[in-house]
Structure 1
Amino acid sequence: MPDLSDATRGRLLFGGDYNPEQWPEETWHEDVRLMKEAGVNSVTLGVFSWAKLEPRPGAREFGWLDRLMDLMHENGIGVVLATPTSSPPPWMGRLHPETLPRDEDGRTEWWGSRQHFSHSSATYRRYAAAITEDLAARYGGHPALRMWHINNEYCTYDYGDEAEDAFRGWLQAGYGTLDALNRAWGTAFWSQGYGDWHEVLPPRRAHYMKNPTQVLDFRRFTSDALLECYLAERDIVARHSPHTPVTTNFMALWQGLDAWRWAGQEDVVSIDVYPDPRDPFGGQYGALVHDMTRSQARGGPWAVMEQAAGPVNWRGVNHPKPAGLNRLWSLQAVARGADAVCYFQWRQSRQGSEKFHSGMVGHAGERGRTFQEVKRIGAELALLSGKVADTRVEAAEVAVLLDWNSWWAAEQDGRLSREVDQAQVVRAWHRALWEAHTVADFAHPEHDLSGYRLVVVPQLYLMTDAAVDNLVTYVHQGGTLVAGFQTGVADEDDRVREGGMDARLRDLFGIRVLHEWWPLDAGETVDADGFRGTLWSEEIEAADDVDAVTPYKGGELDGLPAILRKGRARYLSTLPEPHALRALLTEIAAEAGVRPTLAGLPAGVEAVRRGGLLFLLQHGRERVTVPVPGRHRDLLTGAEVTGTVELGRYGVAVLEAAS
């Protein structure tokens, strides 16, 4: 099975999406000159080229792509070749309207943008397979080819007729009988019992709230239907070039795809990551995305497929990156396991919806600050390649649990609080670990957790029996577990478990009775002994065998447990404020034998070990002194470092121990 090393060939990949069809052909040679000047060794071609490759049904216009592939090879630049299937040509929608997706109101999503395809359309799949087959046959053996890139940011929902038939078939395969489906969906409620499979529909527009398990299953189905599209194209290109790795790019913390399930089908896990330059915790967000992607890559190297060299075009206000931030975040990705650092896109567009989205070569051209910074990043990645490429991040001792099924179920209509955002809860817990200078993996709750000293569960509203048993076994075998509020409430069918929490978890945490959930309003807090809680609280009665209780102070829950500890398991019935959560997790991690990557780090400085190297990254604007025991050499500057290292605004040092 090929992997990222087959594409990198012992070096870090650096480049981005190249869309030369937007420019006169004479620009191509100028692009190559600038790419070589910037140290670019990889470009992604063809992502949005279907209309140019197939201007009429069945026609093939490959001449321009032939010339580009040859041009890249002649100049030592590898190609990540994309199948163009995320954006079908207008003729397809005109001739085959059934290929267009429909929303939950039955409205057609027309061409004129992108991702306008029905994942369940047999016609779309036939055309997608045909263009993929011809691309793979033509370029599968081309010497410039380094990796295949299937589609782009899979994210389409479809409620149309073919999706309806496919959803019904998916349910029949999963449940077998209508009786089983009726039990799983709880259709005794609101007279929803189904007597014929043809009565079962996608969760289209309804008068009031929809059946939650129907919606949950539709999310599962959609993820699987899109995965079928990916696998069909993956298998075609793999047949023509079996030693070339294949990827498709995930979107960071996107709810629509079960990334654990998808990652298992990729040779290379890749991500598009766009932290907000104005976010004071943008660096922590990047670290979270990197940790999650590395974990989906099973600890091996992974790829940043897209990031921005400057501003994006889709926020309310699109701020540029201050000088040095692009470099900092690029090297942060390498520190946390990336072997490819790429951008959308190479040359900034002059027309279209993304003309204000930055490129490696911006509207200011080669003299612009953006390109000059890109050149520096390319040079530094070249310096690091021999030491870093195809190495791993030092094994983490902490795991953060996340499950897309739980996320889907927790954020439906009819829940107790719209203030609870799963992604923000996960980010809060990861931020506490990041600020404590502790590198964490992410894991599925059914994964083997035995290699971790500490497992944290920000929130797992829905848990399978296997997941519950896994956590109980982990603790009984000596692991330390910390779980957040509203964990273990529902089973895999989104059925509330008897007692409001799985009985095995109640016993594990020392909960006799969970009387009521008490969600908090926006901005509301609740006092507890030694800290203040946010977002949520719960009315809990502790069991007799609990080891310690941290009580609420005042209000309706006065004296009741805010935190319970029984043995190596803790349960937090609220979300402590950031500094309190950091202090709590730091204390628990220390008890579990987890130590920070480097002691004595100033606030805002991140430390990660990869491949025997120590990466130090300063996310602040002030000059700081970082204690580093022993003698080292900074690979970026060649300077000798003894005892301490100075980092300026957005500064980075990559230290190798002196021999």
Structure 2
Amino acid sequence: MPETTPQGPDRLAFGGDYNPEQWPESVWHEDVRLMREAGVTMVSVGIFSWALLEPEPGGYDFGWLDRVLDLLHENGIRADLGTPTASPPAWFYRAHPDALPVGREGLRHSFGSRAAICHSSPAYREAAARITTELGRRYAGHPALAMWHVHNEYGVPVSACYCDNCAAHFRRWLQARYGTVEAVNDAWGTAFWGLRYRSFDEIDPPRLTPTVGNPAQQLDHRRFADDTMRENFRMERDILHRLAPGVPVTTNFMTALSQCDTIDYWAWGREVDLVTNDHYLMTDGRRTHVNLAMAADLTRSVAGGAPWLLLEHSTSGVSWQPRNPAKRPGEMARNSLAHVARGSEGAMFFQWRQSRKGAEKFHSAMLPHAGTDTRIWREVVALGADIGSLAGLRGTRTVPDVGMVWDWHSWWAQGLEWRPSEDHDARERADSFYEALYDRHLTVDFAHPGADLSAYPLVVVPALYLATEESGRNLRAYVENGGTLVVSYFSGIVDEHDAVHPGAYPGVLRDVLGLTVEEWSPLGAGESVRITGPQDATVTGDVWTEFVVPRGAETVWTYADGPAAGGPAVTRHRLGRGTAWYVSSRLDPLALDAVLESACEDAGIAPRTELPRDVEVVRRCGDGGDYLFAVNHTPHDTKVPLERPGTELLSGEHAAGHLAVPAGAVKVVRLDA
């Protein structure tokens, strides 16, 4: 079996994407000298180098890459070696123009950017297999090789293609999935609007239609596109496993819910030897460190709780958002170590040396345009030293407090057209529930709705519009066996084909919640309702209301006005040894926190009132020891209580009682046994 960590380094990974082909060879020796100064242990190489490695069909030039890898090895730096299949050369597209993807509207993309790929193209698959085989044969035994990096950010910027190659492939995929066209008609509900098919040959991808297309067809095409990309990954992975046995193979994910919605990472996590992730702060006015924590928790969860690796993030500003502010002093280290706290085995960046040309020339890098006499470079060197001091925590695991159910298929289905309200957003609900748990200083594991949830005293379900009968049984069993469940509105509604479950809403969650919903009544833009609760507390909800009928559940909060005035807004249902809460409106943050406070009481989770807001405390434990991370995102010095004394690893100082954490700083304590 392949290793599940990069081969060679006995420290955490620190480095970034290295693109020496962008620079004269005379610069390479300066690069590795500065890498050693910064404490770099690994760099990613060759990710976009297909046109240089194979400058003409079947003609290869590996000399420059040989020299790069030899130079890295001579300087004690390992390589995450890429297969360059995210960016085929111009000659390939000239010979195979049908390998360029076609959009839903029927227009074919042109060569001139990255990842312009039809993943169903036989020519692309053949060419990708050839270049991957050549790389595997040549570098399988190279002493610099730490791991293989297949492709780059699958699904970005193109995931689905609607060309004739994809149409034929989609039909084969449907036949393998359903067996008969009659089964497709049944699953897709084609009796509606007379959309019935007589044979697979009549089925096309869900191309542009005059009005909304069949939602089940669109959902299956999403699955098909995801499966097709994963087929290509497996093809390259298997070639590398055969030629370089024991060397781990990965591809870089983008699990942040705001950055990539086309990939089922639960499925992808089972295919890679090591889960890796790229994360970039979304500067859209939200608390960026909360989104960072969420992305790291989700990545760790995709890895099954095992250590993973942050393969890309930025030293400062990026170049592709509407506004790209620089990171403030200390923010780069804080971001990096927050990822490590939540399970990453290091911190890698895009990229090593800032580009002078091309689309990302204004994207920050470890070595900026202005060189080494810069704040960024000094912070990079300091961070390299800090990362180097944390080698002992390799292999330890982040300790979660609660679980959150998330499913990409449900997100895809809910995002299709003609839903009750365009203001209801599954990602927004996940963000809001996560932020509320974060502010209660709880570390979150994400889980598939069919996963074993028994380890979590509390599980929240912020948005599960698509829920199978198996998922419904799983959530019920979780509560019956003593768990505490919190479910948000518009969950449990449809099955895997986007067909409404028989009977009253919320479908497969009726029994566990002890209620039915006769109707939902979404609110207009800017409208809100008042909701009253215990001790005559009054809060507000917006976006959504429902006509809830308790059938065993007790009413905890009540609509004071609005369409459902006088009816239940928040309910609580005792079932077996556990409790299930239901929230039927989008509550304001204070109200959502109040519900979660009550749910935490049910779950036996004590409040952590001694920790200030925006100071996160996360633990990693294992054979390597017990480590506590304290990350202070505030402009104020603070203190964090320690349950037992230990050594603060970034300073070497003894810590006991309370740990002083200066404004904007990170402290890491190895607790005494």
User: Do they superpose with TM above 0.5?
Assistant: yes
The farther-off stretch of 249-258 and 48-57 is 249-258
Q: 2:345 matched to 1:339?
A: yes
Q: 2:68 matched to 1:65?
A: no
Q: 2:591 matched to 1:583?
A: no
Q: Note closer, same or farther for the CA distance 1:405–1:500 as it changes in structure 2 (3 Å cut).
A: farther
Counterpart amino acid of residue 464 in structure 1: T
Q: 1:418 is matched with which residue?
A: 422
Whole-Å Cα distance in 1 between the matches of residues 427 and 555 of structure 2?
A: 30
Whole-Å Cα distance in 1 between the matches of residues 630 and 359 of structure 2?
A: 37
Q: 2:649 matched to 1:635?
A: yes
The farther-off stretch of 43-52 and 474-483 is 474-483
| 1:510-540 deviation line (CA, Å, top 9, x unaligned) | 21x4122122334432211132223322111
Q: 2:153 matched to 1:153?
A: yes
Whole-Å Cα distance in 2 between the matches of residues 523 and 112 of structure 1?
A: 43
Q: 2:299 matched to 1:293?
A: yes
Q: 2:65 matched to 1:51?
A: no
User: Given the alignment, which residue of 607, 610, 613 partners 2:617?
Assistant: 607
2:398 partner SS: coil
Whole-Å Cα distance in 1 between the matches of residues 561 and 222 of structure 2?
A: 41
Q: 1:135 is matched with which residue?
A: 135
| 1:3-35 deviation line (CA, Å, top 9, x unaligned) | 433436432000110001000000000000110
Q: Percent identity, aligned pairs only?
A: 45
Question: 1:397-408, aligned counterparts within 5 Å?
Answer: 397-408=401-412
Q: 1:303 is matched with which residue?
A: 309
Whole-Å Cα distance in 2 between the matches of residues 586 and 34 of structure 1?
A: 50
1:467 partner SS: helix
Q: Note closer, same or farther for the CA distance 1:595–1:66 as it changes in structure 2 (3 Å cut).
A: farther
Question: 1:42-121, aligned counterparts within 5 Å?
Answer: 42-121=42-121
2:642 partner SS: strand
Q: Normalising by the residue count of structure 1, what TM-score does the alignment of the two structures yield?
A: 0.97
Contact 1:446-1:467 within 8 A present in 2 as well = yes
1:614 partner SS: strand
Q: 2:40 is matched with which residue?
A: 40
Whole-Å Cα distance in 2 between the matches of residues 246 and 45 of structure 1?
A: 14
Whole-Å Cα distance in 2 between the matches of residues 629 and 95 of structure 1?
A: 66
Contact 2:269-2:275 within 8 A present in 1 as well = yes
1:4 partner SS: coil
Aligned length: 654
Counterpart amino acid of residue 628 in structure 2: L
Whole-Å Cα distance in 1 between the matches of residues 648 and 598 of structure 2?
A: 32
Counterpart amino acid of residue 604 in structure 2: G
Counterpart amino acid of residue 235 in structure 1: D
1:340 partner SS: strand
Whole-Å Cα distance in 2 between the matches of residues 278 and 225 of structure 1?
A: 32
Whole-Å Cα distance in 2 between the matches of residues 8 and 580 of structure 1?
A: 50
Q: 2:396 is matched with which residue?
A: 391
Contact 1:101-1:116 within 8 A present in 2 as well = yes
Question: 1:461-480, aligned counterparts within 5 Å?
Answer: 461-480=465-484
Whole-Å Cα distance in 1 between the matches of residues 5 and 59 of structure 2?
A: 35
Q: Note closer, same or farther for the CA distance 1:60–1:595 as it changes in structure 2 (3 Å cut).
A: farther
Q: 2:290 is matched with which residue?
A: 284
Q: Note closer, same or farther for the CA distance 1:485–1:8 as it changes in structure 2 (3 Å cut).
A: farther
Q: 2:206 matched to 1:203?
A: yes
| 1:210-256 deviation line (CA, Å, top 9, x unaligned) | 10000000000000000000000000011111111111011122210
How big is the shift at 1:548? 3.5
| 1:340-377 deviation line (CA, Å, top 9, x unaligned) | 31011111100000001111111111111111111111
Q: Note closer, same or farther for the CA distance 1:98–1:504 as it changes in structure 2 (3 Å cut).
A: closer
Q: 1:564 is matched with which residue?
A: 571
Counterpart amino acid of residue 154 in structure 2: Y
Gaps of 5+ in 2: none
Q: 2:527 matched to 1:517?
A: no
The farther-off stretch of 80-89 and 188-197 is 188-197
Counterpart amino acid of residue 80 in structure 1: D
Q: 1:555 is matched with which residue?
A: 562
How big is the shift at 1:644? 2.3
Q: 1:648 is matched with which residue?
A: 662
Contact 1:472-1:504 within 8 A present in 2 as well = no
How big is the shift at 1:502? 4.8
| 1:494-518 deviation line (CA, Å, top 9, x unaligned) | 011233525552122121x412212
1:558 partner SS: coil
Whole-Å Cα distance in 1 between the matches of residues 585 and 396 of structure 2?
A: 39
Q: Note closer, same or farther for the CA distance 1:103–1:297 as it changes in structure 2 (3 Å cut).
A: same
Q: 2:668 matched to 1:657?
A: no
Q: Note closer, same or farther for the CA distance 1:639–1:277 as it changes in structure 2 (3 Å cut).
A: farther
Whole-Å Cα distance in 1 between the matches of residues 244 and 419 of structure 2?
A: 48
Whole-Å Cα distance in 1 between the matches of residues 409 and 87 of structure 2?
A: 28
The farther-off stretch of 630-639 and 90-99 is 630-639
Whole-Å Cα distance in 2 between the matches of residues 360 and 279 of structure 1?
A: 25
Counterpart amino acid of residue 273 in structure 1: H
Counterpart amino acid of residue 173 in structure 1: A
The farther-off stretch of 195-204 and 548-557 is 548-557
The farther-off stretch of 273-282 and 631-640 is 273-282
Contact 2:449-2:475 within 8 A present in 1 as well = yes
1:163 partner SS: helix
Question: 1:426-441, aligned counterparts within 5 Å?
Answer: 426-441=430-445
| 1:136-168 deviation line (CA, Å, top 9, x unaligned) | 000011010001000001112210011000101
Q: Note closer, same or farther for the CA distance 1:594–1:408 as it changes in structure 2 (3 Å cut).
A: same
Contact 1:82-1:149 within 8 A present in 2 as well = yes
Whole-Å Cα distance in 2 between the matches of residues 8 and 484 of structure 1?
A: 46
Q: Note closer, same or farther for the CA distance 1:323–1:280 as it changes in structure 2 (3 Å cut).
A: farther
Q: 2:171 matched to 1:168?
A: yes
Q: 2:359 is matched with which residue?
A: 353
Contact 1:457-1:484 within 8 A present in 2 as well = yes
Contact 1:417-1:519 within 8 A present in 2 as well = yes
The farther-off stretch of 314-323 and 554-563 is 554-563
Whole-Å Cα distance in 1 between the matches of residues 645 and 26 of structure 2?
A: 51
Whole-Å Cα distance in 1 between the matches of residues 195 and 366 of structure 2?
A: 54
Whole-Å Cα distance in 2 between the matches of residues 8 and 293 of structure 1?
A: 23
How big is the shift at 1:599? 5.3
Contact 1:120-1:163 within 8 A present in 2 as well = yes
Q: Note closer, same or farther for the CA distance 1:423–1:278 as it changes in structure 2 (3 Å cut).
A: closer
Whole-Å Cα distance in 1 between the matches of residues 627 and 246 of structure 2?
A: 30
Structure 1 runs (4+) greater than 4 angstroms displaced: 277-280
Whole-Å Cα distance in 1 between the matches of residues 8 and 406 of structure 2?
A: 30
Whole-Å Cα distance in 2 between the matches of residues 494 and 14 of structure 1?
A: 44
Contact 1:8-1:339 within 8 A present in 2 as well = no
Contact 2:275-2:302 within 8 A present in 1 as well = yes
User: Given the alignment, which residue of 438, 446, 449 partners 1:445?
Assistant: 449
Whole-Å Cα distance in 2 between the matches of residues 519 and 485 of structure 1?
A: 11
Counterpart amino acid of residue 594 in structure 1: I
Whole-Å Cα distance in 1 between the matches of residues 601 and 380 of structure 2?
A: 40
Q: 2:241 matched to 1:230?
A: no
Q: 2:38 matched to 1:28?
A: no
Q: Note closer, same or farther for the CA distance 1:278–1:110 as it changes in structure 2 (3 Å cut).
A: closer
Q: Normalising by the residue count of structure 2, what TM-score does the alignment of the two structures yield?
A: 0.95
